[in-house]
Structure 1
Amino acid sequence: MAEHKHGTMDITDQENTFNGFISFTKNAVFVIIAVLILLALTGA
């Protein structure tokens, strides 16, 4: 069994997935806030 050396694993895919999740979450929050403002302005 090979020895594991801390910090040698390629984490590019994990970083891309995390960055995509953060981007999606940020955009979803902006959309939700915009919808709430629209609802408040229209009185619906």
Structure 2
Amino acid sequence: MAEHEHGSMDYSEQQKMFDGFMSFVTKSVIAIIVLLVLMAIFAT
């Protein structure tokens, strides 16, 4: 079995995926909040 050296893994792809996910979540939450505010304003 190969020896594992702590901290030697290249995680740049994981970092890009996480950054994309966080961007998606942030934009989704903002869109939902705007939608809820508009529903509260224009509710009949």
**Alignment length (residue pairs):** 44
Shift of 1:37: 0.4
Dislocated runs of 4+, deviation >6 Å? none
1:37 equivalent to 2:37? Answer: yes
1:1-44 equivalences in 2 (<5 Å): 1-44=1-44
TM-score (norm 2): 0.92
TM-score (norm: length of structure 1): 0.92
Unaligned runs of 5+ in 2: none
Unaligned runs of 5+ in 1: none
Counterpart AA for 1:3: E
Cα deviation code 1:7-26 (max 9, x no counterpart): 00000000011111111000
Identity of aligned residues (%): 45
